[in-house]
Amino acid sequence: MSRYWFGLCIALLLSACETTHEQMLSQGYPPSYADGFQDGCSSGRQAAGVMAGDFRKDVPRYLHNRQYETGWDDGFRQCNAMKNGEDERQYRDRYWDERDREWQQEKDRDAARAYRHD
């Protein structure tokens, strides 16, 4: 029984290390689509300002291989949107929380003035 759990844990760990490209291939996506998605995703992250991403596009393949083109476009849009959404959440967390604290302090000061008997 413990060998079963050990094997299951190893399988889960190995699948967690699997790249998106490998996951797509194992799920039945065509290799051309998976290649395009990988290149488009890297390009989308780079366009959103991620230093780890680099712009990659096999232009002749993009122009002549519909699966690569579709994969590239899908990867670019998805990874660019994820990065931009992440940046927006960080901005909101940083600045909106500060505004909320300032608003709460102002509200408390106004309430204190209203309750004060002068």
Q: Residue 42 is encoded by which pair of tokens?
A: 């890297």
Residue 78 lies in a domain: yes
- What residue numbers bound the domain in which 97 lies? 18-112
Q: What's the mean pLDDT in 20-47? A: 91
Q: Alpha carbon of 79 to those of 53, 75, 76, 106, 111: distances in Å?
A: 10, 6, 6, 40, 47
What is the number of domains present in the chain? Answer: 1
Q: What are phi and psi of 13, to 5 degrees?
A: -65, -45
Residue 117 lies in a domain: no
Q: Specify the higher pLDDT residue, 79 or 96.
A: 79
pLDDT greater than 50 at residue 44: yes
Residue 76 lies in a domain: yes
Query: In which band, very low, low, confident or very high, does the pLDDT at 100 lie, cut at 50, 70 and 90?
Result: confident
Which has the closest alpha carbon to 58: 40, 31, 82? Answer: 40
